[in-house]
Structure 1
Amino acid sequence: MKNEFLQDFIRQATKENETKIAQEKRKKHFQELGRKGGLKTKENKKLDKVISIRMTNPEYKILLEKQEKYPLKLSTYIRYVLFEKELKINEFQTDEILLQYGTHFKKITNLLRNREWNVFENKKEILMKIENLIELIHQYLYSKIQENE
């Protein structure tokens, strides 16, 4: 009788232990999936070195005037100029303008489709030209993205 009790106790303990191990394996499996999936983490390059420079007031004012043209902090602007990355800033501005044009053209096509614009005889031609223009904008932007990669 004691022997049966011990065997039952051991079986029950091993079953509980196996379920715990199975739960931990499942938890680790989903943690691994979470690490593999989702967005890639950005490489955070720490800016840990500080350089201080001295300049005159007119030099500082000129630097501030040049920096105000771009939506950057002064330190990032100086870093971009130092490493000759200033040209990329202007490219992003033209891309933003093109994206805005694309959204505006889409709004125009939606207005032409959804409302009664029967005044225009060549409504379909206008819609086709606008859709072609939107497609060209998207092709240009996607080609730029692929070139950068």
Structure 2
Amino acid sequence: MEKDFLQEFIHQVTKENEAKIAQEKRKKYFKELGRKGGLKTKENKKLDKVISIRITNSEYAILIQKQKKYPLKLSTYIRNVLFEKELKINEFQTDEVLLQFGNNFKKITNLLRNREWNVFENKKEILLRIENLIELIHQYLYSKSKKNE
């Protein structure tokens, strides 16, 4: 009887110990994944080194004049020029215009699908061409965003 009690007690203690170890492993696993157990946080490239240089007033004026052409801060502009990164002017404005065109084309297709617009004989052909155009716009924008990544 004492052996049964002792064996049962040892068995129960080992189960509790295994449960604690499993819970600790789970905590460590989620700690590794992130605070709330989500995806790992991306490593952020921090700009932690400071370099100061001296330039003349005329050099500064030229630098400011060149920097104003781009929608960038002066430090970002200098960093991009220094590391010969590609400077793009009004890149996002063209993307916005294309997105607006896509939205307008979608509105036109919705209008054409209404019963009031049955006047057109080639309504299906117009809808098909507009949908193809919308698809081309989206493919262009998504391919451009994938290149940037």
TM-score of the aligned structures, taking structure 1 as reference length = 0.66
d(CA) in 1 for partners of 2:22 and 2:40?
29
Matches within 5 A, 1:10-49: 10-28=10-28, 31=30, 34=33, 41-49=41-49
> What's the offset of the Cα at 1:77?
1.9
Q: What's the CA shift string for 1:50-107, capped at 9, x where partnerless?
A: 2233341x65455445434433222112222333324345444433432332222223
Matches within 5 A, 1:130-145: 130-145=130-145
Gaps of 5+ in 2: none
My pick for the range that moved more, 76-85 or 64-73, is 64-73
Count of aligned pairs: 146
Give percent identity, aligned residues only.
79
Q: What's the CA shift string for 1:15-65, capped at 9, x where partnerless?
A: 221222233344555x38957x96674442221222233341x65455445
State the 4+ residue runs in structure 1 displaced beyond 6 angstroms. Answer: none
| Counterpart for residue 73 of structure 2 | 73
Matches within 5 A, 1:92-107: 92-107=92-107
d(CA) in 2 for partners of 1:59 and 1:71?
20
TM-score of the aligned structures, taking structure 2 as reference length = 0.66
Counterpart amino acid of residue 135 in structure 2:
E
| Counterpart for residue 124 of structure 1 | 124
> What's the offset of the Cα at 1:120?
4.1
Q: Which has the higher contact order (CA 8 A, sep 6+)?
A: 1
